[in-house]
Structure 1
Amino acid sequence: MRYLRPVDLAREHGISTQAVRNYEQDGCLPPADRTESGYRAYTATHAAALRAYLALLPAHGYAVSGQVMRALNTGNADAALSAIDRGHAQLLRDRETLDAVEVALEDLAQSAGLAPQPPTGAKEFSIGELAHRLGVTAATLRNWEQAGILVPRREPISGRRSYGADDLRDAELTLLLRRGGYRLDHICTIVEQIRTAGGTQALHAALGDWRKALTTRGLAMLSASVQVARYVELLGIDAPGAARSAPRAR
Structure 2
Amino acid sequence: MTLDEYAIYCMPIPTEARPPRPLLRDDVLDRIRDAIVDGTLTPGEQVRDADLATWLGVSRTPVREALLELGRAGLVRSSPGRSTVVSPLESDDVRDAQRVVAAMHRLAVLTAVPRMTAVDLDRMRAANARFAAAHAAGDADGALVADAAFHAVAVDVCGNSAARAVIAQYEPILHRAERLRFASVEEGRDSAARHDRFIELCAAGDAESAAALAEEIWQALVIDASPTDPRHEETP
* TM-score of the alignment, normalized to the shorter chain, above 0.5: no
Comparing both structures, which one devotes a greater share of its residues to helix?
A: 2
User: Which protein has the larger Cα radius of gyration, Structure 1 or Structure 2?
Assistant: 1
Give the TM-score of the pair, scaled to structure 1: 0.24
- Using structure 2 for the length normalisation, give the TM-score: 0.26
